[in-house]
Each structure stands twice: as C-alpha cells, then as structure tokens.
Amino acid sequence: MSKYEINELYDHTQEPFHLKHLLTDLGERTLYDAAAQCNRCGYCETVCPTYMLTGRETISARGRNQFLRLLIEGKIRDTGSAEESFSTCMLCGACSSVCYAKVPTPDLVLEGRRSKDGYGQSLPARLGMNLLLNNRGLFEFLLKIGFLLKRLGLAALAGKLGLYSFIGMPSLGAAQDSLSNAPLKFLRDIFRMDTALSPEGKKEISWAYFAPCGPNYVFPEVGLATVALLKRFFGDGVFADNFCCGLLAYNYGRITEAREFAKKNILRFEELKDILGDFAIVGDCSSCVAFMKSYEQLFTGDETWRPRAKAFASAVKDILEALPAEKLHKIKGREPAEGETVTYHDSCRACHGQGIRSEPRAALRKLVEKSFVELPESDWCCGGAGAYAFTQTSLSNSVLDRKIKNIASTQAGTVLVGATSCLLQINAGLRKKYPSAKAVHYSVFMDNLTKC
C-alpha cells in the first residue's frame, strides 16, 4: 500500500509482536506512512503535557514522532536512545486530537516501545498477563489475598510479598493508599449470581454490560451504578461476563496476549449475539472502551479476525455517551445541595480516544445545570495513565498538580471522571492537596441523581 517499504525499527521476525497496519483518521497506513504524515507543524506542542511542563522537544509529541520516524528510516539505530522520549509519553492522545492529519502518536509511541529489546518481558508483565489470560481464578485469588491483607492493616506486607508484581499489577500495590475500599467480592462475582443479568430466557436486549478491570476488581460500585443506569433507561440487558479487554497487555508490550484477550471477548460477543441479536456493549472505563473500539487495528494482518473485531468494535459504547440528555430527568431531592458545584474532567481516552466531549456535558447541563462548572483545561491528562504514575513519578506529579490546581480554581466539591485510572489518580492528588473535593465516577453520580 505504500511506496516506501522501509522499516528499520524491527526485523521481520518481530512482526507478530507489532501492528501490521495502523488504522488512522486518513485510512489504513503502514507504520512508516503514519509517522511520515507528521509535517512538524508543532500544533501538538500546545497540548502535550510533558512538553508543556518541561519545554523539552525530546519529550514532546512531535519529538516522539520524529524519533520513531528516524528509527524506521534507520537514521538512528539504537532504540535505547529514544527510551526517555517514548517512556515519558502518557499516551493521552491530546496531540492527535489537535493534529490536522490526526497522526496517531500514541500508537506510534507504543510501536516504538515494542521495538525495544526486553520490552514486555518483565516478570510481572509476563506472569501477570499469563495469569489473567489463562488462570483468572488464581489471579483473582491472589488479588483478594492482597486486598485482605490491606483490610487487616497489613498493606505493606502484600507489597513485600511481591504479590501485586506477581499478578502484573505493581501499580495496584503502589496505589494502596488510594484504595479506600479494597473489595473482597469482585463485580464479576456479583453479576454472575444476578439472574436478572443473565441471558437466559431473554430474546432481545439493548445492552450488555462489559466489566472493565477497574470496576471489576477495584471499584465495583461503579459497575453497579452503570448497570442500574442501563436498566433504568434502556430496560433489559445482560452482563457480558467478559474478559479483560487486553489494554493492560497491549500497553505492557504484550500484543500477542492483547490479541488473545480481544479474541475471547469477541467470541463472547458473538455467542451472545447469536441468541440475542444486536445490542450495545457498554463499558464504564474509558480506557478499556476506547481500546475495544480499536480492536480492528489489532488484527489488520489477520483477515479472519479483522471483520469480527470490526463488528465487535462498532457495538462498543462508553457509558459517558450512552446516556442521552433527552432521556434523563431529574428526581426531586437528588440534585446537589445549594452552593455545591460539580465539574467534569475529560478522561483522555474518552475525549481524545473516542471524541466524547459534548454528550456527558449535555446530560450534566440538563440535570445539574446550576451546579455545573467547566473545568479549565478539562482535557489535560491527570497523569494516571495506567502505570505511568508509578514509572514516571515526578512528571506524573507535575501533571497531576496542574489538574488539582485547575480543580481548585473551580471550587467544585465533585469532579466527575469516566476512567478508573483517573479516579485513583485524581483522588490521590485531591487527598493530598485539595481534600474538600472528591473525584466520582460519572456512573455513580448519574445513578444517584436519577435514582427514585
């Protein structure tokens, strides 16, 4: 498809561990063509958080594109030299949002990371992904032990045992402080027991709830709220009884496992579809939802799975976009107290990853018009970015500080978010620097507002 067949980034034996083609806003592109679309106009520099904070081209969106391009062209050989450039990227996607040609910088950065020797080979990455993929029972068992230790006030012990690292979630260990309520019963345990959410006896449904790992393992109340909302406004639905979306594996550099996760979910979707016809797959963590919407890209080299992934992706919806304002109505006595303000943080994978901006705002304006204030730089990343907060602590803190400062400027008591990574990160920041506000997941807030 391209005139230019150069790719010095990795040799052909590595092809299975990379994306074959990228699905960009301008169509399907080879890696080189996608990178070469950047004409260095620099517009991305106005929104790239790491550039804005440091002023360094090297850790800017444009710099990362140039690095990758030079690697592809073989003009630099050592992927290691790009280490800082690639590893500091939060993959927030703000750059692609402002880019005229929508150069997919986060995807390019990931391709760069994947070309690094040993990337994705760390013990937690390998073990954890393997466990989650093939032995979910053991994974969950170990996680519960960790949470139990925390509840017993022995959080440090779990860390010391290397428990979280072992299951591929070192960030969870480090985030202990942010987990106020480590659940001992996961969302999946709850929903599988709930006959109202079972496909049995149903002929058609309009939605299936997809439980992302965040709500599933850490914030079950989010999933409960989402399902309550879906029932309230769309009637009958089912629990998809899904697997991890695969984003964790994808970001860890383990693309093969990411594909496996995706296939499991696609199969699950197809099974349900056979019985229940068309329905929307609704998730409530924007990172996972955005990733699932891009499933097709995982399979650009695979003609069997590609159309199936595409069909799956087109059924996926974020709860942020799923609730149309016209369907919502206020329930008396449920609106926020007089003088209490609510603001909305655009989770990166919602606004940049899926283009969701107006829908939640329209809904909020309808329900809490008087209390709603816009957050300055609402689409500035919170710095959570998966494990970023733990791998790039100082940068992540600076990114978070700016978010907290903006939140403080609105004097809001509640900050709504759509991704669980943001929930963890923003609440951690607020606790330290602006304890009068709290981050709340959009579903939880909306459920409270509309509950009879």
Partner 1 sequence: MFKKHRIEGIRRDLEKAVGAENVFTDDAEILMYSYDAGMARAKPEAVLLFTSTNQVAPVVKILYAAGIPFLPRIAGTNLSGGTIPLRGGVILNLSLLNKIRQIDTVNRMALVEPGVVNLRLQQELDKFGFFYAPDPASQKVSTIGGNIGENAGGPQCLKYGVTCDNVERLEVVTPEGDIKLWAHSDPGPDLMSLIIGSEGTLGVVTRAWLKILEKPKIIKTAVAAFASIDNAISAVTKIIGAGIIPRALEAMDKVSLDAAKKSLKTDYPPGTEAILLIELDGSSDRKITGELRHIEDICKASFSTYFRTAADPAEREALWQARKGAYPAMARLAPNVLVEDGVVPRPRLPEALKETRDILSKYKITAGLLFHAGDGNLHPNMIFDERDVQEVKRVNKAGYEILKSCIRLGGTISGEHGIGVEKRVAMNWMYDAATLDFFDAIKKAFDPKDLANPDKILPVAEDRRAKENSFQPDLLGEAAAALISELRLRRDKGVKSAVKGLGTRLYADPAARGAKALETAGLNRILDLDRENLTIRAEAGLPVRELKKWLKKAGYGVALPDLDGTLGGAIAAKAWPDMRHILLGMDVAMADGSVLSFGGKTVKNVAGYDALKLFCGSLGAYGVILTVTLRTALDAGPQQGPAKDVRNKFRPDDYHRRLKKAFDPGNLLNPWIYGE
Write out the residues near partner 1 by the rule CB under 8 A: 3-4, 26, 33, 36-43, 45-46, 54-58, 62-63, 66-67, 70, 76, 81-82, 84-85, 100-101
Give 59 or 142: the residue with its C-beta nearer to partner 1: 59
Nearer to partner 1, 39 or 181 (CB): 39
Q: Which CB, 100 or 141, lies closer to partner 1? A: 100
Q: For residue 426, give Cα distances in angstroms to 226, 230, 239, 387, 401.
A: 20, 26, 28, 14, 9
CB of 369 to partner 1, least distance (A): 22
Nearer to partner 1, 284 or 379 (CB): 379
DSSP string, 122-133: SHHHHHHHHHHH
Smallest distance, Å, CB 47 to partner 1? 10
Residue closest to 34 by CA, chosen among 45, 42, 25, 43: 25
Q: Which two tokens stand for residue 222?
A: 């989010």
At its nearest, how many Å lie between partner 1 and the CB of residue 83?
A: 8
67 or 269, CB closer to partner 1? 67
In sequence order, the 6+-apart residues with CB closer than 8 A to the CB of 275 are: 199, 202
Taking the complex as a whole, the smallest distance from the CB of residue 80 to partner 1 amounts, in Å, to: 9
In angstroms, the Cα distances linking 305 to 22, 286, 297, 325 are 16, 24, 11, 36
> Any idea which residue has 């937690």 for tokens?
124
What's the CA gap between 115 and 71, in Å, rounded?
10
Give least dist CB 171 to partner 1, A: 26
Looking at the Cβ atoms of 62 and 403, the one nearer to partner 1 is 62
Q: Nearer to partner 1 by C-beta: 58 or 130?
A: 58
- Between 38 and 313, name the residue whose CB sits nearer to partner 1: 38
Short-list 316, 164, 325, CA closest to 242: 316
Asked whether the beta carbons of 306 and 299 are under 8 A apart, the reply is yes
CA proximity to 67, closest of 1, 8, 3, 2: 8
Residue 280, phi then psi, degrees to nearest 5: -95, 140
The 8-class DSSP code of residue 261 comes to: H
CB of 75 vs partner 1, minimal distance in Å: 9
Of 58 and 122, CB closest to partner 1: 58
Q: Nearer to partner 1 by C-beta: 96 or 414? A: 96
Nearest to 182 by CA among 173, 194, 191: 173
d(CA 38, CA 41): 8
How far apart are CB 60 and partner 1 at their closest, in Å?
Answer: 8
Q: Cα-flanking dihedrals φ and ψ of residue 254, to 5°?
A: -110, 75
Question: Residue 139's closest CA among 127, 148, 150, 151?
Answer: 127
Least Cβ distance, residue 124 to partner 1 (angstroms): 27
Place of tokens 């070309």: 115
Pair of tokens at residue 184: 């001992």
Q: Give the nearest distance from C-beta 70 to partner 1 in angstroms.
A: 7
CA distance 110 to 112: 5
CB of 102 to partner 1, least distance (A): 8
